[in-house]
Amino acid sequence: MPFSGGLPSARLNARPADGRSATRRRIFLAAALTVGIGLLVLPVLLADGRELLRTAAGIDLRMLALPAALTLLSYAAMSRSYQDIADAAGCHLTFRNWLRITFVSNTVNYLVTSAGLSGFAVRMYLLSQQGISSGRAVLISLVQTFLTNFTLLFFVLAGFATLLLGHALPGVALAATATVVVLFAATLAFGTVLVYHRRLRRRTLFVLADGAHRILRRTLPRWTPGRVRVWRFQHNLNEGFEFLVARKEHILAPAGWILLDWLLTLAILWAAFRAVHYPISLGLVVIGFAVGICLSLISFVPAGLGVMESSMTAVFVGLAVPLEPAVVAVLIFRVTYYLLPLVVSLCVFHRVMLEAAHGVGSAARINTVADLTPSPPADMNPT
């Protein structure tokens, strides 16, 4: 027997708990997907069936090539942003490698969320296969994620500000939109301050990490990560901020690629409306995109399925766009931006995709003690 004493019984006792936790996750995922599918179908049911079919039949197939091309360009820009950040960190990989890593990590994230895997974990695995240390891989991912979300906040703020200033809203909607604008503006301003104010940043990260851990421990104790993992994440996030400050001149290029990535994403939705012969202004696109992306990010449904489509459609209809073109255009956006990269990954990078899913899944099942119990970094003191 490879084990003796109390360890086997501890492992055996842990299995039922792990099984119950896995069952709860599956039930939660099934419920979330049910809600998402219901929201996805709802706009279709509310639309006029004949008009919806007429709109779908009238799609300009040649124009569908434009959203597809914009999606591929968007992923290329995202890949280039990773490459530039990695180069600044002293980790040099070819653009082809980054393109493969970006496609696979993003699409696997949609497929295996139920198994507890994520695009972040897959990216870590693929980078380790390229000889990049876990510390550098985490740094690259966190910096890119921060820049991506920070840029997204600008577009979301622009969308809600356009809605607030350019359209007549009823009282409740006006108050809600104004509140969102103020909150996002304050978040952007505070995020900018944190980049340059080291002491405030360290104290803020400590308070947020500690507060989140306390709340999770009281509300979701089974899903609460260990305090050491929280410390490690806090430390890695602070290292990412330090990296941004220390290499400001090297961050401009990846920030530009990330900005281009979001502009291309907006252009996909704009092109989708042109494909259904109902062109709308870029201002309307920004408003619908901002609301849809914002609600999908805070939802518990994987990839915001249904949440994004129903909210985008509702916004466009509220801004005088007919329901049927809005439904079809938003579905075109979903297919081209989410399903097309999945098809590319399955057809072009299928071997890498299978290796990543298998490798990360094996690591998650092993869940070694060494990975869980490093000593907390010395600089966790927020002072």
Q: What is the pLDDT of residues 175-216, one digit of tens each?
A: 887 888 888 888 888 888 888 888 888 888 888 888 887 887
Domain ranges of the chain: 7-380
13 confidence band (pLDDT: 50, 70, 90) = very low
Give the pair of three-digit tokens for residue 324.
């049927």
Concatenated DSSP letters of 290-352: HHHHHHHHHSSSGGGTTHHHHHHHHHHHHTT--HHHHHHHHHHHHIIIIIHHHHHHHHHSHHH
Contact 301, 314 (CB under 8 A): no
pLDDT at residue 111 in the model: 62
CA 189 vs CA 47, 147, 154, 247: distances in Å: 41, 14, 11, 21
pLDDT (mean) for 286-315: 85
Task: Answer yes or no: is pLDDT of 223 > 70.
Answer: no
What's the pTM value of the predicted model, to 2 decimals? Answer: 0.80
